[in-house]
Amino acid sequence: MKLVIASIVTVALLAIACTVSAQDSRFRPDRQQIPTPGCLNMKGAWEGGSTPCTQNEHDSWLTDIRHWRDERRIRIGYEGSRYDLPAFKWTQSSFFQPQMMVEDRYFYDPVAHRYTVDRYLDDLEKRYGGIDAVLIWPTYPNMGIDNRNQHDMIRSMPGGVPGVRQMIADFHRRGVRVLFPMMMWDQGTRDPGMPWPDAIASLMAEVGADGINGDTQDGVPLAFSLAADKVGHPLVFEPEGGPSDEALAWNVMTWGQYSYPFVPMVDKYKWLETRHMVNISDRWKRDKTDNLQFAFFNGVGWESWENIWGIWNGITPRDAEATRRVATMERALAPFLVSPDWEPLVPMLRYGVYASRWPSGQQTVWTIVNRNDYDVEGPQVELAPEDGLHYFDLYDGVELTPAKNQAGRSVLSFRIEAHGYGALLASPSGPDAGIQKLMSKMKELSATPLSSYSHEWKVVPQQIVPIAAVKPPSGSPADMVKIPEADFDFRIAGIEIEGFNDIGVDVQYPWEDTPRRFHDHPMHVKSFWIDKYPVTNAQFKKFLDATHYHPQDDLNFLRDWKNGTYLAGWDNKPVTWVSLEDARAYAAWAGKRLPHEWEWQYAAQGTDGRTYPWGNDWKDDAVPVPDKGRTMRGPDTVDAHPQGASPFGVIDLVGNVWQWTEEFQDEHTRGGILRGGSYYQPQGSIWYFPQAYKLSEHGKLLLTSPSMDRSGGLGFRCAQDSE
């Protein structure tokens, strides 16, 4: 009997729980998207076949999702006053926003030591019509190579805080808003010394940024908005993932993480609050048609992200031209695309053609996409006749003359090319100056079909930066080891956290035709000399005393030195906080050069393919004890671990400090190849710069400027050619 009563109680409780959690809707959102009417999905004969949706079916669906919206707003206590604030109005027309790596060579010129904002923006305008905002990314994947936190990485950008402030002003001069990321997972590097909301608000106010992208966050907590308001510098917060519906009130932007069925789905956040801006993010996809069509259908934007952690996923010419056209239309139609009376999936006459209807006052706009692989022309939409109403094909830039069908309804006919776009305006009067300008521009653009542009995706080739040969030493230098000539199997893999084995990941050696993650190349290595130990602080001090070297970009240069010299007892520790340029300058003074990566690996590994310099099994005493704290204690002396010697007697190759070797570059990114790993291991996240202790692995540090590239976990050793 107790079991029966318990079962009844359990069932009752489950029923109550379901009643509380459920809503009276047949089309509840699936993550960020609202399902479409089932009648829009084509069915095979074995499923009963397909019939066109009736007006009643559409109206029933629309009534259902409107009911869900009304009830959902009540449930979350929605209050949308933040969207009315003047400081945030820009978001409602901020359709195109790339995530831009600070390492992009179009953004900063390391030779001239200056930001090149105009060059960066001019390139995007030329290729796909420009942008409305930019998410500047200075952190991952480099963060964690030392204990600089995410805010320190911004302060390490060229010119420091004053340089960043002027750079942002340059974007603002071109009408582009600026966002930075925040990483809640960054709990292993330097403690900011104040609550995170206050730290972010303070720094963003100091540099004049407009907003924050919440990396890996499903909503940015209200505390961050309140902290920004408190310092008098309101910030837009844009989480990567979908926030709770309640957070929609203060997260006025989000990224769109979509599924892409044939029939476009409705964005939940845009449906709840039509003033909310979504930037669809689909970084690895090479064909951007789905992204652009779902954005245009929903009246939202796109994260036009090409430089993905230094891996170039460029927009094809066809997608670039489609972006230009979608951007041109959305910017001109922005006042319509916040209409609270938005009607998605308004009935159309042709299969595979889908539209949203955006009424505003006496005018109405339709945004239309053709999901078919073929052109669709002829009658497209049927409307109730209205005297004095004019119709304009905004995509082709012409006025349309409606025809009457047998039922006396107005029918508009026009052509939409395969995977193309359309836009209509219904107005009781002629187009205003803004719409006339739009029609003129679109008539010019649409004269060339999208199909005439190449849709072929191409990888960007890389080049290795040559390392010039140097004069051999006279005699046998005591601080160097001569490595004999040999045949060597150079087998190495990049340890990038993302990208899998996609073409374009990692680097392209001179014998390869594309960049890739895994490399295996038998080669003949000529005899050479290599430093027995990494260059020390004492040795670098001799170089400075002899040459009075001082880099033009000196931010973070020898950051751990005081009053022009190293700390007491640090003479025999490897010098750190030196850039690739600093290391090359030292090597040139010493009559040496940096080692090729394969030379470094051969000197560490010999010819037997061992995993570590000392053999195949890890030895704790062969390397420094890892530092897993939030401050860096400093490296060990270079001779502290003789047990870690290679077969040739080269010391301190692994686990103390990373060591510079090659540089690679393509049109957009530079990368330095680092070997050996370091003693510093920040904890708490998988996203920190990973270690490469194995001789079959290398690290790739994305390069911007010496100020950012220098690190407390990175030093170097030199090599010299042999006769």
Q: Tens digits of per-residue pLDDT, 529-550?
A: 999 999 999 999 999 999 999 9
The predicted structure's pLDDT at residue 49: 73
- The per-residue pLDDT for 46 is 82
To 10 degrees, what angle do helices 117-128 and 317-333 make? 100
Gyration radius (Cα) of the chain, Å: 30
Q: What local confidence, expressed as pLDDT, does residue 486 receive?
A: 97
Per-residue pLDDT, 23: 60
Pairing of strands 211-218, 236-241: parallel
Instruction: Write the CA distances from 196 to 186, 223, 234, integer angstroms.
Output: 11, 9, 16
Token couple for 541:
């001090």
The pLDDT value given to residue 43: 79
Per the CB < 8 A criterion, the answer to whether 528 and 719 are in contact is yes
> What tens digit of pLDDT does each residue of 204-252 get?
999 999 999 999 999 999 999 999 999 999 999 999 998 899 999 999 9
Res. 21 pLDDT band, cuts 50 70 90 = very low
Residues near 5 by beta carbon (within 8 Å), at least 6 away in sequence: none
Q: SS3 letters for 544-572?
A: HHHHCCCCCCCCCCCCCCECCECCCCCCC
Residue 511: φ, ψ to 5°: -90, 5
Mean pLDDT of the chain: 95
Residue 24 has pLDDT above 80, yes or no: no
Residue 579 has pLDDT above 90, yes or no: yes
pLDDT per position as a tens digit, 311-353: 999 999 999 999 999 999 999 999 999 999 999 999 999 999 9
Mean pLDDT across the stretch 75-79? 95
Q: What is the distance between the alpha carbons of residues 194 and 211, in angstroms, rounded to a whole number?
A: 20
For residue 493, give the 3-state DSSP assignment. strand
pLDDT band at 723 (very low <50, low <70, confident <90, very high): confident
What Cα–Cα distance (Å) separates residue 178 from each residue in 174, 202, 280, 719? 11, 16, 17, 43
At residue 4, does pLDDT exceed 60? no
| 119-134 average pLDDT score | 98
Is residue 5's pLDDT more than 80? no
pLDDT at 647: 98
Spatial CA neighbour of 27 closest among 55, 66, 77, 70: 66
Average pLDDT over residues 365-373: 98
Three-class secondary structure of residue 230 per DSSP: helix
Where does the pLDDT of residue 9 fall: very low under 50, low under 70, confident under 90, or very high at 90 and above? very low
Assess whether pLDDT exceeds 60 at residue 17: no
**Confidence at residue 14, expressed as pLDDT on a 0 to 100 scale:** 40
The pTM score is 0.95
Mean pLDDT of 419-428: 97
Q: What is the mean pLDDT of residues 118-127?
A: 98
pLDDT (average), residues 589-606: 98
Residue 16: predicted pLDDT = 39
pLDDT of residue 524: 98
Q: Where are the domains of the chain?
A: 463-721
Q: What pLDDT score was predicted for residue 260?
A: 97
State pLDDT tens for residues 644-681: 999 999 999 999 999 999 999 999 999 999 999 999 99
The model's pLDDT over 186-199, given as tens digits with 9 standing for 90+, comes to: 999 999 999 999 99
Instruction: Say what percent of the chain tops pLDDT 70.
Output: 97
What is the CATH class of 463-721?
alpha beta
